[in-house]
Amino acid sequence: MDLRKLRYFSVLAEEKHFGRAAQRLSLSQPPLSLAIRQLEEEIGARLFERTSRNVSLTAAGLALQREAEVLLRRTEETRLLVKAIAEGKEGRLRLGFGSSMLYRGFPKILDAFQAASPDIELSVQELNSTEQIEALQRDEIDLGFIHGREVPSRLEGFRYHAEPFVACVPRDHPCAGTRSLRLSRLKDDEFVLFSRNVSPDYYQSIIATCLSAGFSPRVRHQVRHWLSVVSFVANGLGVALVPSTLKASNMAGAVFVSIREAKILSETWCVWKAGGPQRPALDTLIQAARKQSLAMN
Partner DNA sequence: GAGATTGATATATCTTTCATATCGATGATC
Partner DNA sequence: GATCATCGATATGAAAGATATATCAATCTC
> Which residues of this protein are in contact with DNA, per CB under 7 A?
2, 4, 16-19, 26-31, 33-38, 50-55
59 belongs to the binding site for a copy of itself (CB under 8 A): yes
C-beta of residue 194 within 8 angstroms of C-beta of residue 203 = yes
Task: Report the first-to-last Cα separation within the chain, whole angstroms.
Answer: 48
Site residue total, a copy of itself (CB under 8 A)? 34
C-beta of residue 8 within 8 angstroms of C-beta of residue 32 = yes
Which of 107, 277 has the CB closer to a copy of itself?
277
Which of 18, 203 has the CB closer to DNA?
18
297 belongs to the binding site for a copy of itself (CB under 8 A): no
Burial string for 120-149 (b: 16+ CB within 10 Å, else e) reads: bebeeeebbbbbbbebbeeeebbbbbbbbe
CB of 16 to DNA, least distance (A): 7
**Residue 81, contacted partner among DNA, a copy of itself, none, CB below 5-8 A by kind:** a copy of itself
Which of 86, 248 has the CB closer to a copy of itself?
86
**Residue 43, contacted partner among DNA, a copy of itself, none, CB below 5-8 A by kind:** a copy of itself
265 belongs to the binding site for a copy of itself (CB under 8 A): no
Q: What is the 3-state secondary structure (H, E, C) of the chain?
A: CCHHHHHHHHHHHHHCCHHHHHHHCCCCHHHHHHHHHHHHHHHCCCCEEECCCCEEECHHHHHHHHHHHHHHHHHHHHHHHHHHHHCCCCCEEEEEECHHHHHCCHHHHHHHHHHHCCCCEEEEEECCHHHHHHHHHCCCCCEEEEECCCCCCCEEEEEEEEEEEEEEEECCCCCCCCCEECHHHHCCCEEEEECCCCCHHHHHHHHHHHHHCCCCCEEEEEECCHHHHHHHHHCCCCEEEEEHHHHHHCCCCEEEEEECCCCCEEEEEEEEECCCCCCHHHHHHHHHHHHHHHHHC
92 belongs to the binding site for a copy of itself (CB under 8 A): no
Q: Which residue stretch of 75-83, 124-132, 175-183, 225-233 sits at the interface with a copy of itself (rule: CB under 8 A)?
A: 75-83
83 belongs to the binding site for a copy of itself (CB under 8 A): yes
Which of 88, 177 has the CB closer to a copy of itself?
88
**Residue 89, contacted partner among DNA, a copy of itself, none, CB below 5-8 A by kind:** none
Distances (CA, A) of 8 to 69, 78, 111, 194: 11, 20, 48, 51
**Residue 60, contacted partner among DNA, a copy of itself, none, CB below 5-8 A by kind:** a copy of itself
CB of 288 to a copy of itself, least distance (A): 17
79 belongs to the binding site for a copy of itself (CB under 8 A): yes
Which of 80, 237 has the CB closer to a copy of itself?
80
**Residue 14, contacted partner among DNA, a copy of itself, none, CB below 5-8 A by kind:** none
Residue from 28, 34, 85, 224 touching a copy of itself (CB under 8 A): that is 85
**Residue 295, contacted partner among DNA, a copy of itself, none, CB below 5-8 A by kind:** none
262 belongs to the binding site for a copy of itself (CB under 8 A): no
Q: Which residues bind to a copy of itself, rule: CB under 8 A?
A: 1-4, 42-47, 58-61, 63-64, 66-68, 70-71, 74-75, 78-79, 81-83, 85-87, 90, 277-278
